[in-house]
Chains A and B, each alone.
Chain A
């Protein structure tokens, strides 16, 4: 594994987006993973439609039928992959733009830009997560967002952050080996996370989170997706 790795430097990550006042982080995390997987397989970066997922996806978790994708009311990235495999794929952002509100489903299968072939969850091990990140592209992850409400910058390494309350879907795009921690008086490794709250939040829309301790449940809900170019 490389010591430092960042898919942004390789051109595999679209601009930071903004979900607005809508609980659709799960849709942004899903499209981010699909955008990255498409980039890895084709070398082309496309911005894909979250609104399609917000409007059309009502898939439920196979193990918990109450955990269903529900527009601005929340959802799961793994449910969204299931929906995409069944629906035929994702349209581009420009053909199905984001509005921040749930509307009628306007998905047009003829406009599909990227098809989802399969997906997988990643083992609860930070080295495995890093290896899959490097191999498959940016990964959809869930975390506990409690410290993100007040985050401005730097490497977040909270002393206490519950691993259980995973409530926010984001995109893991890379990792670094040396982020300075004042408390521990040393350089600590960290994850580079793309958020969907616009560029004015955090470090130009990005969050750096301490790596190595499953901080805020970052290891607990990680998934990768495999895509195919629409013919």
Chain B
């Protein structure tokens, strides 16, 4: 019997999104998989990554608007969340906005005028 007191009403990122299946987005996703040699072990994972891919297509469009002199679109990272992308493909340790390195090791100023 369903518990009517506690019921999830928020979006679940891992929830299956059958509404994307058979859409143009899925066709683009299949092309992306073939271009970058991507494979997903389960149907659930496939649908999960498809959902992320759809969000990243929107993100690329936002980036295109904010950065019009560059070209943004589908890349090898289009099936990753921003958190996954940062964790797996970046990697500069957080130094809280400071520069890192030994105190006093800054290069002397070079004459650049003219």
Contacts and interface: CB of A to CB of B under 8 A. Distances in A.
Contact of A169 (B56, B63, B91, B107): B91
B60 A150 contact: yes
Contacts of B80: 149
Contacts of A122: 106-107
B88 A22 contact: yes
Nearest to B93: A67
B100 A200 contact: no
B54 to A, nearest CB: 14
A166 B92 contact: yes
B106 to A, nearest CB: 5
A21 B89 contact: yes
Contacts, number: 190
Contacts of A62: 101-103
Interface string A156-185: 111110001011110000000001111110
Interface of B: 36, 56, 59-60, 63-64, 66-78, 80, 82, 85-103, 105-107, 109-110, 112
B107 A67 contact: no
Contacts of B75: 149-152, 201
Nearest to B106: A121
Interface of A: 1, 19, 21-26, 61-64, 67-70, 72-79, 82, 119-123, 127-128, 130-132, 135, 142, 145-147, 149-160, 164, 166-169, 179-184, 188, 197-198, 200-201, 208, 210, 220-221, 223-224
Contacts of B87: 23
A13 to B, nearest CB: 20
Contacts of A152: 70-73, 75
A61 B67 contact: no
Contacts of A22: 88, 91
A136 to B, nearest CB: 8
Contacts of B105: 78, 119-121
A227 to B, nearest CB: 16
Contacts of A123: 106-107, 109
A159 B68 CA distance: 9
Contacts of B110: 128, 131-132, 135
Given A132-B110, A150-B63, A221 B100 contact: yes
A200 B99 contact: no
A158 B63 contact: yes
Contacts of A128: 107, 109-110, 112
A68 to B, nearest CB: 7
